[in-house]
Structure 1
Amino acid sequence: MRCQDVHQFGQKLVRRQQLKPTEAPESPKARHLNTLDLVVWGVASTLGAGVYILVGEVAMFIAGPAIVISFLVAALSSALSGLCYAEFGTRVSWTGSAHLYSYISVGELWAFVTGWNLILAYVIGLLTLGAPESTLLYKVLGINVSVLSFIIISGFIKGDLHNWKLTEQDYTLNTSESTSRLGPLGSRGFAPLVFDGILQGAALCFYMFIGFDAIVTKGEEALNPQRSIPVSTMITIFICFVVCFGVSAALTLMVPYCQIHPESPLPEAFLLVGWGPARYVVAVGALCALTSSLLGDMFPMPPGMCMMAEDGLLSRGLAEIHAHTGTPVRAIMSSGNLAAIMALLFKFSDLVDLLSIGTLLADSLVALSVLALRYQPDQKFSKKEKTEEEIEMKPKLEEKPPEPVSEAGNSNILKSLWFPTGTIPTWKSGQIVYGCAFLLVLLLAILSLVLAQWPSQLFSGDPVLTTVAVLLLLLITGVTVIIWRQPQNPSPLPFRVPALPVLPLVSILLNIYLMVQMTSGAWIQFSVWNAIGSDIAWRRTRSNSLHLPNSSLKHPCC
């Protein structure tokens, strides 16, 4: 009996959700958001109060003036992830999320991991960023952007380029008191801790781009989601990069990075340059940033929990909709209680690290989903399509019974890897891509670990590390070519990620590399959080309550 339980549990882990939308009339008023509305929603969700706090901490303790380069690296990672989100947003033209995308393409296990970490992201967003969205959202976002523009212009007026090329004598007095995560303050001017500081700073600066995925949750309300979701996603990331780049440049030009106040960087910077009253303008901007960001993080979290509950990944009681208000009351109360508990247990810096790891993992799974799904046989994503039977994903060994493999069979398998016979994806070619994709993730993780842990030895020519890195690169290149040789699904899409399979793999590599820059303490806390989630998943499976719903992916709580 125990073996049978384990077997059933394994079936559920690899099962993928099938699109079986329920037929429901669509109200003409449901779709009312144009591209500008989605950009406003995305910027409001992303550009929160963290820019008023995190910039000072990263500049002083980690990256110095090179924080502007850290933001560039973080923006590149976000842009690559945004392209992957955009393709999924055009595939599924109703409310979606990274959890939904992972469930469709890579299975229930990774869908739960993604959704569980998205809950973590939304909860921490409430804590660290902490009404209808229409007029109020435009007003508070407008005030926030105006204040940030004032900060940028003021910084360039009162700034001094000498603060970007400090010498050791300029901050000798601060060396004994100021330390960073990488040791004492460096003495290399613009980048005091060189690439280590830039990359570790990028891992934390990625926090400032978290929230653009809120755009895809508005797919059902968009007038033309196939066009507006990709465009608004890219515009949102670009706007946030320009603002963060400008604020960090202004701050480090106004004040030497070693004199930045880590807890109140911008008000203290204006005080040092003699513009004391500007502190009150910064306070107003921070308050508006809190308001707009709370809208972006508070509203998606209960529907996300409700969606996971509908899929059987959490307690189904969380999916109950109140008869009078039409809201998931239990999901709302649970998310609020969880936020309160985490606010009691964690510091701000710990929350930022946790949020960055969880979101980078979710973005990596979305990139993997795009890579895998493009090479699968045609699957209809139309909301009008009906299916009549429940489709259960059986283990592939049951679908394709094993047969004795001869030498000719081995030759045919190798031939199909490099020279596929058809131009249309088949079950076999799809499984080849799945296997190669997961192998690539493993190889990229090992390469990222080598690059992050032993960069100086590697680039100085250490024979062992150089050999390992070269072998990993050769394997990654070979497996990537195998995926590239497989036939892609020819179904037309309004937006397709370019340069497949390279671009999603670069996104995964960059995300994993930023993840390994996090501290060991953050990884321990992240592991505890996922251990709790794994225990919940195991208990729900053992109680035979984990099953695919008979309804569609269009959940009533969305």
Structure 2
Amino acid sequence: MNLFRKKSITDLIKETGQKNAALKKELGAFDLSMLGIGAIIGTGIFVLTGVAAAEHAGPALILSFILSGLACVFAALCYAEFASTVPVSGSAYTYSYATFGELIAWILGWDLILEYGLASSAVASGWSGYFQGLLAGFGIHFPKALTSAYDPANGTFVDVPAILIVLLITFLLTQGVKKSAKFNSIIVIVKLAVILLFIAVGAWYVKPTNWTPFMPFGFSGVATGAATVFFAYIGFDAVSTAAEEVRNPQRNMPIGIIASLLVSTILYIIVSGILTGIVPYQNLDVKNPVAFALNYIHQDWVAGFISVGAIAGITTVLLVMIYGQTRLFYAISRDGLLPKIFSKIDKKKQTPIVNSWITAFLVSIFAGFVPLSKLAELTNIGTLFAFMTVSVGILYLRKTKDAPKTGFKVPFVPWIPILSFLFSGYLVLQLPALTWISFFTWLVIGLFVYFGYGRKHSTLNQPLQQIRKIG
């Protein structure tokens, strides 16, 4: 049996029009840009900036964000061409099906399941921490046993707020993609306003002396910082999972992907510069560095707004991550590599409702019971692996005869895809050995699932089965 059999781009696009499994096309360029910003600006700007500055990069955190941003810009151009050429749910998984074949597509899809699943769970845990902190300010406290993941030594057994936010976001997603996108846009505007408030207030308290030494840990520290803050950028590829629900995807998908990444990168660079200019980098190793910086300069009233903005920011990240996970399950299931229950569409809402609640259940288990403090690197390696595959995929796509000639095209091929591959490859090499071991363990489990279920039930295998029956 051919493990590298491909789906033609024509067939992939035809499948999106099937009456029983069609998603509703309701999103425009603005909706996509806001989804991207909603996914990118959140945990990275409100949490990771402090750790990366204090432990790795110092004031050169600005360079770390530029390095990560460059890797993402090159990858984003590649994603934009694929999303414009193959406007089908599934992101890098679907693109690989058209260029590299089924086995590689499955490996990448299994990799993305890990990325979205762990990211959703980690973000839900982070949201729980900020939310409980906000409630504590009003004198409201959850029983300790219900405040964090399972850790009997500390008296905690389940993170109830994390589970509740996952269920709430899933309920919203099942009401239709347009309603979800409107909610996301409102919350994104709130958090952008809060970030601009921080910039407007904080800029007056910057002391250039805090920027020296600029690179206290050398360039290796900058590179490690870039690999750390890369977690902040993983959301933009979630935009490509919305392809089947977009009006005029050839135009709107590239706009949504590139615009959201550029806006987010510019804000990251400005905020990190002001942050390290206000507070000596050695003091930034805290969970809420932006609010901490405002307390440091005695602007406590703004720090309160920052807490609200952080909760809003993390909420939209969670929404887009869970959304991306459900659409990934949907695409893989439609190809037969996962059970068909994941690609069942509700006729009224035109969303995969059963799929959404299964996803919510799985994410809730991890968010509620499993401590995820050290799993950001595992999410990062999955994302970088996807970026590298999509970058190489562009070179194959240009040689594919049935690829549409219209739509967005990556400039300066093959140099942009090669740079994308090299930047992502450099960052992935900065991750610790334990991350690599965990990643390959997950991929081995995925191969067992594929050879035990997916290969047999693949839709590409159905014509062969029918021929055997006739014979």
TM-score by length of 1: 0.68
The offset of 1:312, in angstroms, is: 2.5
Matched residue, 1:162? 209
- Counterpart of 2:426 in structure 1: which amino acid? Y
Matched residue, 2:36? 42
- Residue 203 (structure 1) aligned to one of 202, 227, 230: 227
Matched residue, 2:339? 315
- Is 2:71 the partner of 1:81? no
CA distance in 2, matches of 1:60, 1:232: 33
- Counterpart of 2:457 in structure 1: which amino acid? S
Percent of aligned pairs with the same amino acid:
30
CA distance in 2, matches of 1:127, 1:275: 32
- Residue 187 (structure 2) aligned to one of 137, 140, 160: 140
Q: Is the 8 A contact 1:58 1:67 kept in 2?
A: yes
- Is 2:296 the partner of 1:306? no
Structure scoring higher RCO (CA < 8 A, sep ≥ 6) equals: 2
The offset of 1:270, in angstroms, is: 1.7
Matched residue, 1:351? 375
CA distance in 1, matches of 2:123, 2:97: 29
CA distance in 1, matches of 2:366, 2:39: 21
CA distances 1:445-503 after superposition (whole Å, capped 9, x unpaired): xxxxxxxxxxxxxxxxxxxxxxxxxxxxxxxxxxxxxxxxxxxxxxx332211111121
The offset of 1:321, in angstroms, is: 4.3
The offset of 1:134, in angstroms, is: 4.1
CA distance in 2, matches of 1:271, 1:218: 39
Matched residue, 1:259? 283
CA distances 1:521-540 after superposition (whole Å, capped 9, x unpaired): 22222222222212211212
Matched residue, 1:55? 49
CA distance in 2, matches of 1:119, 1:86: 21
The offset of 1:107, in angstroms, is: 1.1
- Counterpart of 2:402 in structure 1: which amino acid? Q
- Is 2:147 the partner of 1:153? no
Matched residue, 2:437? 524
Change (3 A) 1:347 1:80: same
- Is 2:39 the partner of 1:16? no
CA distances 1:335-356 after superposition (whole Å, capped 9, x unpaired): 22332343333432x2211111
- Is 2:115 the partner of 1:121? yes
Matches within 5 A, 1:281-296: 281-296=305-320
SS of corresponding position for 2:180:
coil
Matches within 5 A, 1:30-429: 31-130=25-124, 131=172, 132-165=179-212, 189-321=213-345, 327-343=351-367, 344-348=369-373, 350-376=374-400, 378-379=401-402
SS of corresponding position for 1:190:
coil
Q: Is the 8 A contact 1:50 1:128 kept in 2?
A: no
- Counterpart of 1:494 in structure 2: which amino acid? G
The offset of 1:510, in angstroms, is: 0.9
Matched residue, 2:424? 511
Q: Which is richer in helix?
A: 2
- Counterpart of 1:104 in structure 2: which amino acid? A
Answer with 16-25 or 52-61: which moved more.
Answer: 16-25
Q: Is the 8 A contact 1:354 1:525 kept in 2?
A: yes
CA distance in 2, matches of 1:110, 1:36: 33
- Counterpart of 1:17 in structure 2: which amino acid? K
Change (3 A) 1:320 1:222: closer
CA distances 1:345-388 after superposition (whole Å, capped 9, x unpaired): 3432x221111110111111111111112123x1155xxxxxxx
Q: Is the 8 A contact 1:33 1:222 kept in 2?
A: yes
Tell me which stretches of 4 or more aligned residues in structure 1 moved more than 6 Å.
none
CA distance in 2, matches of 1:31, 1:104: 22
Matched residue, 1:548? 460
Q: Is the 8 A contact 2:242 2:324 kept in 1?
A: no
Q: Is the 8 A contact 2:72 2:233 kept in 1?
A: yes
TM-score by length of 2: 0.80
The offset of 1:315, in angstroms, is: 3.1
Matched residue, 2:176? none
Change (3 A) 1:212 1:335: same
- Counterpart of 2:92 in structure 1: which amino acid? A
Matched residue, 1:457? none
CA distance in 2, matches of 1:324, 1:494: 32
CA distance in 2, matches of 1:218, 1:307: 11
Q: Is the 8 A contact 1:261 1:268 kept in 2?
A: no
CA distance in 2, matches of 1:550, 1:148: 52
- Is 2:413 the partner of 1:500? yes
SS of corresponding position for 2:222:
helix
Q: Which runs of 5+ in 2 are unaligned?
A: 125-171, 173-178, 464-471
Q: Is the 8 A contact 1:312 1:549 kept in 2?
A: no
CA distances 1:19-72 after superposition (whole Å, capped 9, x unpaired): 32155589xx95443322221121112212331001011111111111110000
Matched residue, 1:475? none
Number of residue pairs matched by the alignment? 403
The offset of 1:82, in angstroms, is: 0.6
TM-align CA RMSD: 2.4
Change (3 A) 1:140 1:191: same
